[in-house]
Amino acid sequence: MTYKSLLHTLTEHEVEIRQQVVDSVMKAYDNLSTFPDVAPALRSLKDTPGVECVVFSNGSQKMINNSVNSSKDLKPVSSAFSQLVSVDHMRSFKPDPEVYRYLAQCVDMAGQESQLWLVSSNPFDVVGARAVGMNAVWVDRTGKGWQDKLGLEPTKIIRGLGGLTELVSSLKGG
């Protein structure tokens, strides 16, 4: 999907670049960098009983696997993820509520969406999760507050993933 979106954007803007450059841009997805708080949060959550971390993406399974297992930032904490869930094969993408229901199926929680927590800095992701009854933590890295008016607001808002560890602790009564 990302590859096709890139080609569409280039065509729409009448930009012509060599296939080698397109391939290079796509290869960059194999080594995405993360914010500095990602690795410590994942290490902490991995060791938290009752917490299962799952990557949930519109990207292809290959792209997700490559990114998580090749990225210099994610590879050291890749074991924190119990699953890498792609919706690419569904031909429907976030924020379609059906893909969030699919996520619930993948983690054996279909019909129990209210027990799931999605964490994202993308408002569309929060809106999609909330539409099916999931809880959603929105990471407001800019500190500008929730602006989206197209759906339910996030269950919780945090400024960074350090706040996520504290949130999980408070929800578990610790």
pLDDT in tens, 61-90: 998 999 999 999 999 999 999 999 999 999
pTM: 0.87
Task: Round the average pLDDT of the chain to a whole number and report it.
Answer: 92
35-171: CATH topology: Rossmann fold (3.40.50)
Lowest mean pLDDT among 27-31, 78-82, 147-151: 27-31
Provide mean pLDDT across the span 46-55. Answer: 93
Render the burial of 129-155: b for 16+ CB within 10 Å, e for the rest: bbbbbbbbbbbbeeeeeeeeeeeeebb
